[in-house]
Amino acid sequence: MIVVEEIDSAHLAKNLVGNPSRRPLAVYLPPSYRANSDRRYPSAYVLHGFSSRATTWIQPTSLSFGAYLRPLGELFDEAIAAKRMAEMVVVMPDGNSAYGCPAWVDSPVAGEFEQYVTREVVSHVDRTYRTIPSRDSRGITGHSAGGMGSWHIGSRNPDVFGAMAPLAMTGNYPWMIPPIVYRYFDRIYPGQPNGPIPGNIDSWFCYGWGNAFSPNPARPPFFCDFPFEYPSGALVPEVWERWLQFDPATNWKPREENLRRLRGIMFDVGSQDEFGAYGQRILSRGLTSAGIGHDAREHTGGHTHFLRESVLGAVAWMSDILELSPRAASPAA
């Protein structure tokens, strides 16, 4: 069963681009939830991608970029019936912003999405639903920008989430980002940058990620700096450094201690991902060299072809990793 409610956020109210502070929250309750009024369940948080919303996950079957999308609730019901995953509460928050999803990070321009998820959504869910309110029974996953977000939040908040499974999270920014920005520059030359352009996804990435990685509240109307100068394309080192701090391929190093505290780490990406599987591979190589256990998976396909199945795989994986029942000794997070 899916419940959709609207919750208010103080952390998202602080933004400069007119983003609403009231957000939809979709919650999947497993089959036995209603009948067992005492039972508590582990919870999985699923973060959506750049072009989506909380409610995208639960919409009726449709097609997107050739992929056949089924509502997540149906996939969970089937997997639970087939005993491929344990019963869990699955929480789908909303991370949409004016120029696309800002990868669930805190931004003075787009809003404080990390605080929103780790403080407001988690406490609302634990207050409202029969979850096991402990990091050992709480995991986070997400796809694309949600993969970036689940990495970002999971690697920085081990007291909140005990496991993470970023999917198609992108990364290896020195290779991935420049062509996107250059394509946008080519699109507008010789005009001046003037905000996202309908029909041109590169332009949305530039402003959406700019709002996330190099927000600049002193620079209306779009409130961000670009890591490349227009029209020369010259690298702007101080801005680029800020972007690189969000690159999973390298930003694991200062978070090693957090990562070692997790019960589990899993990655999954399509080997033909348009943003490259390299970010995940480089990150996996780094974690291996540091002796940090993780499960790096790849599947055939591009960025979105097996989107819903990879989310199901991540939640099913979590149900093996997390504590499925409350432990008397377990301190509440």
Structure token pair of residue 324: 């499925």
β-strand partners of 168: none
Kindly state the smallest distance separating residue 197's Cβ from other proteins, in Å.
8
Q: Which is nearer to other proteins, 27 or 86 (CB)?
A: 27
Q: Is 147 in the site for other proteins (CB under 8 A)?
A: no
Q: Is 201 in the site for other proteins (CB under 8 A)?
A: yes
Q: Is 142 in the site for other proteins (CB under 8 A)?
A: no
Of the candidate residues 30, 42, 73, 100, the single one contacting other proteins (CB under 8 A):
100
Q: Is 51 in the site for other proteins (CB under 8 A)?
A: yes
Q: Is 317 in the site for other proteins (CB under 8 A)?
A: no
Q: Is 62 in the site for other proteins (CB under 8 A)?
A: yes
Q: Which stretch binds other proteins (CB under 8 A): 31-39, 198-206, 223-231, 261-269?
A: 198-206
CA-wise closest residue to 145 among 48, 265, 273, 242? 48
Q: Are 80 and 235 in contact (CB under 8 A)?
A: no
- Region of 168 (left: φ > 0; alpha: ψ -120 to 50; beta: rest) is left
Contact residues for 273 (Cβ-Cβ < 8 A; gap 6+): 168, 302, 303
Token pair 């997997």 in the structure block, residue: 79
Q: What whole-number distance in Å separates Cα of residue 149 and Cα of residue 168?
A: 11
Q: What whole-number distance in Å separates Cα of residue 57 and Cα of residue 60?
A: 9
Size of the site for other proteins (CB under 8 A): 31
Q: Which is nearer to other proteins, 53 or 263 (CB)?
A: 53
Kindly state the smallest distance separating residue 68's Cβ from other proteins, in Å.
7
Kindly state the smallest distance separating residue 300's Cβ from other proteins, in Å.
8
Local structure of 106: helix, strand or coil: strand
Q: Of 227-286, which residues contact other proteins (CB under 8 A)? A: 272
Q: Which is nearer to other proteins, 106 or 273 (CB)?
A: 273
User: What is the DSSP track for 260-295?
Assistant: HTSSEEEEEEETT-TT-SHHHHHHHHHHHHTT---E
Under the rule (CB under 8 A), what is the footprint of other proteins?
50-53, 55-56, 59-68, 96, 100, 196-201, 203-204, 272, 301-302, 305-306
